[in-house]
Structure 1
Amino acid sequence: MSDMALERTVEESQSERSEIVFPADANALGNLFGGRLMQYIDLVGAMAASRHARAITITASMDHLDFVAPVRVGDLLILKASVNRAYKTSMEVGVRAMVEDVREQRLRHVSSAYLTYVAVDRDGKGIAVPKVVPVTEHQKRRFEDAGRRREMRAEETIRKKEMRMALGEGWHL
């Protein structure tokens, strides 16, 4: 597809990142810092968003993040990202983090997150992004779920605005 394509499949932008967890990345119990995992999630998510938009992308939000299981020093961490849905200038990206047991050749789910990225030009102005074409049933479900999450985010934005107005100008959420 050309850079000017109006739509792209999920596969065209899927991204993966692998990390070995070292002691400098972990707390006193030997577990990966949550903030470091968030950094890895943001990086792999940005890769998928940039591939989809074929542009610079910035993180607008991380509205849902689950820490399902600890990641320990020495673990092989695998992160996979897909663009679930695209709007005018923004995209929702889903990221799944897993630990690979190399001996057993099994993956253990440790975290999931949904992030929103905005495509921008060199001046930081939002630019249009291609639509996402979900192909598999799993991709179609994620596409529909992303629409529902967008509605919930919009409702939350309205609720926060109303709270700020009720609290007065001195309070910020």
Structure 2
Amino acid sequence: MDQNSKTAKESVVTMTELVLPNDTNMFGNLMGGRLMYWMDIAAALSAMKHCGTPVVTASVDNISFENPIKLGNAVHIQARVSRAFNTSMEIFMSVWGEDALHQYKYKSNEAYFTFVALDPNGKPRKVPNLIPETEDEVKLFEGALRRRQVRLILGGKMQPNDATELKALFTK
């Protein structure tokens, strides 16, 4: 591994929050916006660990909530870099709740955020390469290029015909 590369495990951040009354909606569930705020912080910390520079959020992929997190439960957010591109990084997050009273953990959701590294002048700067090591890390790494192409197409920065990784899924 060269000095311009890092492993996914080097970027892992696990953040834990307690769901308090001010964090909930009228049903006693954690508000989605509050969770997204915490996820943005965890993802930024992971991206900063990877590149060692300030970062900004570039995009947030679809966030679907599988299970609500209740008042009084803990929220655990694990973030790690799934792929590094030139100046941007895709961060994969898994979120789960923990009911301490009944002694169980449950999955809440997963999401991908994209961050861009900045130089001292606020301009994008090159980030270290990512070396996936585990089977899960390789799957996330390989899928990241397709997810990036979807983001670029939806953002108007790529023409669908130029999305070779996506097209390969549908043509032989």
Q: Same fold (TM over 0.5)?
A: yes
* Counterpart in the other structure of 2:4: 6
Note the 1:74-153 alignment, pairs <5 A. 74-102=72-100, 105-153=103-151
Please state whether the residue corresponding to 2:113 is helix, strand or coil.
strand
> Is 1:22 the equivalent of 2:20?
yes
Paired amino acid for 2:111: A
In the superposition, relative to structure 1, how do residues 119 and 159 fare at CA in structure 2: closer, same or farther (>3 Å)? closer
Gaps in structure 2 of 5+ consecutive residues: 160-172
- Measured after TM superposition, the shift of residue 64 of structure 1 is 1.9
- Measured after TM superposition, the shift of residue 159 of structure 1 is 8.5
Q: Find the aligned partners of 1:113 and 1:88 in 2 and give their Cα distance.
A: 21
- Measured after TM superposition, the shift of residue 84 of structure 1 is 0.3
Query: Deviations 1:73-122 (Å, cap 9, x if unpaired)?
Result: 10011000010000110000011110123356542110211100000022
In the superposition, relative to structure 1, how do residues 70 and 85 fare at CA in structure 2: closer, same or farther (>3 Å)? same
Contact persistence 2:96–2:108 (CA under 8 A): yes
* Counterpart in the other structure of 1:169: none
Q: Find the aligned partners of 1:16 and 1:159 in 2 and give their Cα distance.
A: 32
Among 25, 32, 37, the residue aligned to 1:39: 37
Q: Which runs of 4+ in 1 moved over 4 A?
A: none
* Counterpart in the other structure of 1:73: 71
Gaps in structure 1 of 5+ consecutive residues: 162-173
Give the percent of matched residue pairs that are identical in Structure 1 and Structure 2.
Answer: 37
* Counterpart in the other structure of 1:53: 51
Paired amino acid for 2:32: G
Which is worse superposed, 53-62 or 64-73? 64-73
Contact persistence 1:64–1:115 (CA under 8 A): no
TM-score of the pair, normalised by structure 1: 0.86
Root-mean-square deviation over aligned CA pairs: 2.1
TM-score of the pair, normalised by structure 2: 0.86
Paired amino acid for 2:11: S
